[in-house]
A = this chain, B = another copy of it.
């Protein structure tokens, strides 16, 4: 079964939450961080605890490589171990790497992130250089691998280039969606979604219904929930029958343990993991409720 079908079934079973493991060392409870041999090891222990606790409430995980790269080689080793831990448990993981490069280089990247030490189930890609920077990743379609290509992101800067209006009244991001939608008519899974989906933020409410309607064969990775301003109702507009998308949250789950009147010095990974689970379940239920409305 291709990964996009596994993701569809995971959403059907567990809801729409994608837990973003954008784990900075200072997100780890201080007591655990002091105990660990290094910041990288502290992050790995924290990640494992949160993965265990959220496993039945999360459709998938997204690991933002920047937070690991920041810690150098040791951090990238923990990045690899985090992906491996999720995959060995039978979970699905999106490598948030936003690669985009000429075909020869894309082929190298695809080997790096779809096979070997850094193997992920999905990657994120950037479309600026065009479809010949996306297509080489399809060499791993036979292995079921998938991708989410940046289409309309959740940050304010998306207005600079993604949002530029074209003479046919479409915007640049529509052209990206159109190309992805074409690709999805060739490479798709049994639930009708293309192996390669799109990143669409839930921060622009007024366009969400139009985007969902026009790109029916694209599965969405939806950032912008919580800290960036998106709510469950906004995210629900980008889903179809409650499926066809996963909604990412990172800080609101990773740092749930430090919210409220907690004595931070006494918190440990078990405490953090329980708080993360509670935050993930609440988010899952809020989205399920919004879908029903």
Contacts and interface: CB of A to CB of B under 8 A. Distances in A.
Nearest to A153: B129
Interface string A92-127: 000000111111011011011100111000000011
Interface stretch (A47-55, A64-72, A268-276): A64-72
B128 A127 contact: yes
A159 B172 contact: no
Nearest to A159: B130
A99 to B, nearest CB: 7
Nearest to A160: B130
Given A69-B108, A129-B153, A161 B166 contact: no
A34 interface: no
A50 to B, nearest CB: 19
Which among A103, A116, A129 has the highest number of chain B CB atoms within 10 Å?
A129
Nearest to A113: B69
A228 to B, nearest CB: 8
A73 interface: yes
A211 interface: no
A36 interface: no
| 3 smallest beta-carbon distances between A and B, as pairs | A130-B157, A132-B157, A130-B160
28 contacts: A22-B105, A64-B101, A66-B99, A66-B101, A66-B106, A69-B109, A69-B113, A69-B118, A70-B108, A70-B109, A73-B76, A73-B77, A98-B100, A100-B100, A100-B126, A126-B126, A128-B153, A129-B150, A129-B153, A129-B155, A129-B161, A130-B158, A130-B162, A131-B160, A160-B179, A165-B167, A166-B166, A166-B167
Interface of A: 22, 24, 64, 66-67, 69-70, 72-73, 76-77, 80, 98-103, 105-106, 108-109, 111-113, 116-118, 126-133, 150, 153-162, 164-167, 172, 175-176, 179
